[in-house]
Amino acid sequence: MVFTEKQSLLPSPGPVVEPPRWRYPWALAVQVLAFVLLIKASFALLDYLDENRYNDGLAVAQCPQVEPLVPVSSSQSLVKMDDYFTTSKFRNETIARMAGAIQIPSESYDDLGPVGEDKRWDTMYDLADYLENTFPLVHSKLKLEKVNTHGLLFTWQGSDEGLSPTVFMAHQDVVPVAESTVNQWTHPPYSGDYDGYYIWGRGSMDCKNNLIGILEAVELLVDAGFKPKRTVILSFGFDEEISGKEGAAKLADVLVDRYGKDGAAVIIDEGAGTTSVWGSTFANPGVGEKGYIDVEIIIRMPGGHSSVPPAHNGIGVMSELITLIEANPYEPHFHSDNPYLSMLHCGAAHSPEFPAKVKKLLPSWKEDSCATKDRLAQEVAREGEYVKYLFTTSVAADVISGGVKNNALPERTRVLVNHRVNVGDHPSDVQSKLTKLATQIAEKYNLTVQAFNDEPETPRSIKLNANVDTLEPAPVSPTSVDTVTPYSVLSGTTRGLYGVEVLMAPGMTTGNTDTRYYWDLTKHIFRFDPGWDSEQEGFDGIHTVDEKLSVIAHIKGVQWYSRFIRNMDEADLS
């Protein structure tokens, strides 16, 4: 076949067909919107299913709750004792006992001299005499040893020497009340006044409530004829507020020498309590503590007459360094062993008001990506400053001095910077960061840096010194409840007293306790204030004006101590 120029192999196009036109233009928009909403609903459903699967898993794997635990063994006298806690007679007596302890101003000062030489220690004699007169059965039935004069070590020997002892701790001392603040108190700080609900005074919450509560529990158990199988030890230091080197440190040495490494079953000391959060109530025994380091910074610069000052003297340069330190805070960060992660898992598993954003981020915390962990930490930090510092190294310039005369330039300026080191970090990280910041200032002002060495101070220098009390973060106590463990006994005792509506979750505190010296005695250390009153959650007035204690909380605390002693006595620990 022969083709001409006008012929083609393609078929004829036929009639032109125009695209369809929408008779109602808004109909297209409606369909698009419906499609978008369908997609969003699908993703929301997937998120909902994921979250519920996550919660189901957490409830078992991450935050198991033990059944309430009450002592099995009993007697007519013990039943009578349990009933006695609820009477007005006991209420009045415990108020009087607490008031008497508060009225003894057992203050600790940073500049105290050696025990036996500095007369300010002598107030501890008054407190010891008060305790002996107030708790005669404890003093007659338990063995009392006085360690380094004022440390009180009571031993209630159990009948089964094969059982490791239960150790209760508290400290006898309190922080001083500044004379300038006395008039700001609603009730005088050492009055022990009772207003019908609260007992007021320094030490009422930190921690003569624990000291008196433990002794009350033991006194009543002795009176009821209870004879423990498991030895009970009461170890009361007297200088916790100034780091415990004369009290708790010496007591711990005696106990470790006597019972050996890991020789105690459990330690209960002051610490975290019970709080309402996210629509639930959690008891949070502290299972860890942050580390600690004080850094002394000294700037040496030339002196001279103040009438011819240089552009920057030592005080100005130190101020610039402090400003630089504050402008470079530590960021929130979760390490895998931080106990507050367990609290978050418990909130996600059990609390109706747990933050949705945190719940969404929480499953990814185990990922290797630091960015993922930091996003979680930053989101949780929005809960508030106190929460943030449970997983953030804190930094605070607390003490500063410089200069000796109004017409003389300062030759030596000093500041003390306090740090509480995040779990998983180290004091050495603080030292490295401060060295870098000090170097920036030193280069600007032609100074040398002497960082954490034993060299003497030199002219025109910035010297950094670490305090001798530097402390690594504490080992984290085990919280398994798969078998009978000290934590399961603690948890069961708490839920047995307060009911199953109180949930258990591991916690921690931002400060340090005397337990720093007891790490070798047992792995099972719990820093817990067992008394709880929903009207007074948190630490009311600790270390400041108007410290006070709910009587309801105190009575509950005494009940808890008595039950825990009996529950530990019956526990078949793994």
Catalytic residue among 219, 240, 294, 529: 240
Residue 67 designated active-site: no
Instruction: Write phi, then psi, for 26 (nearest 5 degrees).
Output: -70, -15
312 and 362 housed in the same domain: yes
254 and 334 housed in the same domain: no
Question: Would you put residue 424 in left (φ > 0), alpha (ψ -120 to 50) or beta?
Answer: left
Token pair for 42: 């699908």
Catalytic residue among 173, 269, 294, 529: 173
Q: Which of the 8 DSSP states describes residue 522?
A: -
- HSE toward the beta carbon, residue 42, CA cutoff 13 A: 6
In a domain, 329, yes or no: yes
Residue 49 is predicted with a pLDDT of 46
Count of domains for the chain: 2
408 and 446 housed in the same domain: yes
In a domain, 505, yes or no: no
Question: Pairing relation of β-strands 507-509 and 525-528?
Answer: unpaired
318, 402 Cβ separation under 8 angstroms = yes
Whether residue 34 is predicted with pLDDT greater than 70 in this model: the reply is no
| CA–CA separation, 521 and 544 (whole Å) | 33
| CA–CA separation, 387 and 275 (whole Å) | 13
Burial pattern 492-514, b for ≥16 Cβ within 10 A else e, equals bbbbbbbeeebbbbbbbbbbbbb
510, 284 Cβ separation under 8 angstroms = no
Percent of the chain with pLDDT over 70: 88
Residue 270 designated active-site: no
SS3 content of the chain, % helix, strand, coil (to 5): 40, 20, 45
Boundary residue ending a domain (435, 466, 497): 466
Boundary residue ending a domain (447, 466, 485): 466
86, 103 Cβ separation under 8 angstroms = no
Supply the range of the domain harboring residue 322: 289-466
In a domain, 206, yes or no: yes
Q: Give the CATH number, domain containing residue 194.
A: 3.40.630.10
First to last CA, the chain: 100
Residue 483 is predicted with a pLDDT of 95
Residue 539 is predicted with a pLDDT of 74
Token pair for 401: 């001095």
Among candidate residues 476, 105, 119, 93, the one with its CA nearest the CA of residue 290:
476
In a domain, 308, yes or no: yes
In a domain, 490, yes or no: no
Partner residues linked to 153 by β-bridges: 145, 235
Whether residue 15 is predicted with pLDDT greater than 80 in this model: the reply is no
Indicate the range of 39-48, 59-68, 400-409, 418-427 predicted with least confidence: 39-48
pLDDT digits over 350-385, tens only?
999 999 999 988 887 665 556 667 899 999 999 888
Boundary residue ending a domain (442, 466, 490): 466
pLDDT digits over 161-175, tens only?
999 999 999 999 999
In a domain, 361, yes or no: yes
pLDDT digits over 44-93, tens only?
554 544 555 455 454 457 789 999 999 999 999 999 999 999 999 999 99
200 and 136 housed in the same domain: yes
Partner residues linked to 283 by β-bridges: 274, 504
Strand boundaries in 201-312, DSSP class E: 232-237, 266-272, 274-277, 280-283, 286-289, 291-300
pLDDT digits over 491-516, tens only?
999 999 999 999 999 999 888 999 99
Whether residue 554 is predicted with pLDDT greater than 50 in this model: the reply is yes
Among candidate residues 292, 300, 320, the one with its CA nearest the CA of residue 463:
300
pLDDT digits over 461-497, tens only?
999 999 988 999 999 999 999 999 999 999 999 999 9
pLDDT digits over 274-329, tens only?
999 999 999 999 999 999 999 999 999 999 999 999 999 999 999 999 999 999 99
260 and 313 housed in the same domain: no
333 and 446 housed in the same domain: yes
State the helix-helix crossing angle for 208-223 and 551-570, rounded to 10 degrees: 50
| CA–CA separation, 487 and 499 (whole Å) | 17
208 and 322 housed in the same domain: no
Residue 36 is predicted with a pLDDT of 54
81 and 139 housed in the same domain: yes
Q: Give the CATH number, domain containing residue 432.
A: 3.30.70.360
Whether residue 18 is predicted with pLDDT greater than 70 in this model: the reply is no
380 and 234 housed in the same domain: no
Residue 47 is predicted with a pLDDT of 54
Indicate the range of 255-259, 508-512, 539-543 predicted with least confidence: 539-543
255, 189 Cβ separation under 8 angstroms = no
| CA–CA separation, 107 and 121 (whole Å) | 8
272 and 357 housed in the same domain: no
Token pair for 250: 């010496």
Among candidate residues 81, 426, 432, the one with its CA nearest the CA of residue 223:
81
In a domain, 220, yes or no: yes
SS3 251: helix
272 and 203 housed in the same domain: yes
226 and 321 housed in the same domain: no
Token pair for 257: 């020498």
State the helix-helix crossing angle for 76-84 and 551-570, rounded to 10 degrees: 160
CB atoms within 10 A of CB 171: 28
Instruction: Find the radius of gyration of the CA atoms of the chain.
Output: 31
Mean pLDDT (whole number) for 27-43:
56
Residue 432 is predicted with a pLDDT of 98
In a domain, 389, yes or no: yes
Mean pLDDT computed over every residue of the chain: 90
97, 212 Cβ separation under 8 angstroms = yes
